[in-house]
Amino acid sequence: RDHLHASGHICVLKDAFMYESPTEIADLTSTDKFDAALAIHLYKGGRLLQGSRIPFGIIFGGTDVNEDIKCEEKRRVMGAVLEEARFSVAFTMEMKELAAAEWPDARKKIYVQTQGIKTTPSETFDWYRFLQNADIPTDTDSLHVFLLICGLRRVKDPLYLVDVFSDWHRKDPSVHLGIIGPAVDPLFTSEVKEKVKRAPGVHLLQEMTQDDLHAAMKRCFAVVNSSISEGMSAAILEAMDLDIPVLARNIPGNAAIIKHKETGLLFSNPQEFVVLSKSLMNDPIMKTEIVTRAKDYVKKHHSWESERKAYQNLVLRL
């Protein structure tokens, strides 16, 4: 929205979860005289624009091309949406190729644009109050807080590391894992809460503003990603920009932005996560080299200004 506002457009954000059918969106666009639409997620957002009276573009989310494509009905809907769209955006070349393999006719209108990253850590953030609210001891000399930032839904797999991390915490009380993010799936959120209650060293944290979250990331030891599937994780890129090392599950979306032991660490199972975390804790030189290269990578490949120009040019196609 900021990018579009900056070029003089009026841009209104709507949550796709608030609507159930294309008819509701058609009523909205007619009543408020919209000229065009830009949907995020080929299925969740795109399905609402089928048969739209206004031109639209699509930004792939990740789970659409990686997961929803496995469902016959969703795949059919996404193909129809892509046929109608003026353009679509993939975060990586790999994501574009996945979509193009499924819908070859759409190849020419799929553009690759990485996510632009801009971090804004709050200067008034109180780290010690944050720890107290999370029931993490503040008097530990060698505290190592790992942050797992994700919406609480199954594809993000926030419980993947809980058992092994809790076992590690029993042996080394200085390590703590904080899981933080919106309760996207209420039923699954209840599962997470129950599991975390029985897992010493693992904490389910309250949501916070982006500025405070960036400040918390700056104070933590490492940022963790344990997703089953990712498009392009903004949390990973933000951690890189904030000079914080990243430990991420070795899946295509993460491996597309992390080079193992160069700009971050990729793990294939929970046990390897612990081994790699310990190596990071015991080798400050490696940690420094990783965060330095990661910061350079984000500056070079995930420029906020480049993203702005790309979207300002793309909307002209609408």
Total structural domains within the chain: 2
**Per-residue pLDDT averaged across 199-226, rounded?**
96
Q: Residue 32's pLDDT band (boundaries 50, 70, 90)?
A: confident
| 224 DSSP β-pair partners | 148, 247
Coil, strand, or helix at residue 111? strand
Q: What pLDDT is recorded for position 30?
A: 86
Q: 92 and 241: one domain?
A: no
- Residue 278 inside a domain? The answer is yes
Whether 88 has a pLDDT exceeding 80, the answer reads yes
Across 75-100, average pLDDT? 95
Same domain for 243 and 253, yes or no, is yes
88 and 205 part of one domain: no
DSSP letters of 139-207? Answer: --TT-EEEEEE--SSGGG-TTTTHHHHHHHHHH-TTEEEEEE---SSHHHHHHHHHHHHT-TTEEEEPP
Q: 296 and 307: one domain?
A: no
pLDDT band at 211 (very low <50, low <70, confident <90, very high): very high
Same domain, 281 and 208: yes
Q: Is 70 in contact with 43 (CB distance < 8 Å)?
A: no
Within-domain flag for 281: yes
Exposure class string for 123-151: b at 16+ Cβ within 10 A, else e: eebeeeebbeebebeeeeeebbbbbbbbe
Closest to 248 in 3D by CA, of 145, 150, 117, 144: 150
Shared-domain flag, residues 4 and 15: yes
User: What is the SS3 assignment for 47?
Assistant: helix
Domain hosting residue 21, numbered range: 1-116+303-316
Whether residues 310 and 296 share a domain: the answer is no
Whether 180 shows a pLDDT value over 70: the answer reads yes
Answer yes or no: is 91 within a domain.
yes
pLDDT tens digits along 257-273 = 999 999 999 999 999 99
In a domain, 121, yes or no: no
pLDDT higher than threshold 90 for residue 102? yes
- The CATH number assigned to the domain holding 247 equals 3.40.50.2000
Which one-letter DSSP state was computed for residue 115?
A: P
pLDDT, tens digit, for every residue of 272-314? 999 999 999 999 999 999 999 999 999 999 999 999 999 999 9
Query: pLDDT tens digits for 111-120?
Result: 999 999 999 9
Taking 80 as the threshold, does the pLDDT of residue 141 lie above it?
Answer: no
User: Residue 260 has what pLDDT?
Assistant: 98
Strand order in the sheet with 246-249: 202-205, 175-180, 144-149, 222-225, 246-249, 265-267
Q: With contact defined as beta carbons under 8 Å apart, do 286 and 280 qualify?
A: yes
Predicted confidence band at 69 (pLDDT cuts at 50, 70, 90)? very high
- Assess whether 276 and 160 both reside in one domain: yes
Considering the domain boundaries, does residue 122 fall inside one?
Answer: no
Q: What is the DSSP letter of 62?
A: S
Q: Are residues 111 and 145 in the same domain?
A: no
Shortest CA distance to 90 belongs to which of 103, 81, 99? Answer: 99
Q: Give the integer Cα–Cα distance in Å for 165 and 201.
A: 7
**Strands (DSSP E) found in the chain:** 37-40, 56-59, 87-90, 110-112, 144-149, 175-180, 202-205, 222-225, 246-249, 265-267
On the CB side of 281, how many CA atoms lie within 13 Å of its CA?
16
Can you tell me the distance from the alpha carbon of 124 to that of 219, in angstroms, rounded to the nearest whole number? 13
The pLDDT assigned to 140 comes to 67
pTM listed for this prediction: 0.87
Give dist(CA 121, CA 105) in Å, integer. 43
Residue 65 lies in a domain: yes
pLDDT-derived band at 240 (thresholds 50, 70, 90) equals very high
Q: What is the pLDDT of residues 39-64, one digit of tens each?
A: 999 999 999 999 999 999 999 998 89
- What pLDDT does residue 142 have? 86
What pLDDT is recorded for position 47?
96
Residues 235 and 110 occupy one common structural domain: no
The predicted structure's pLDDT at residue 290: 98
Quick one: angle between helices 234-241 and 284-301, nearest 10?
Answer: 110
Contact 42, 81 (CB under 8 A): yes
Residue 68 resides in a domain: yes
Does 98 share its domain with 110? yes
d(CA 270, CA 160): 7
Q: In terms of domains, do 84 and 135 share one?
A: no
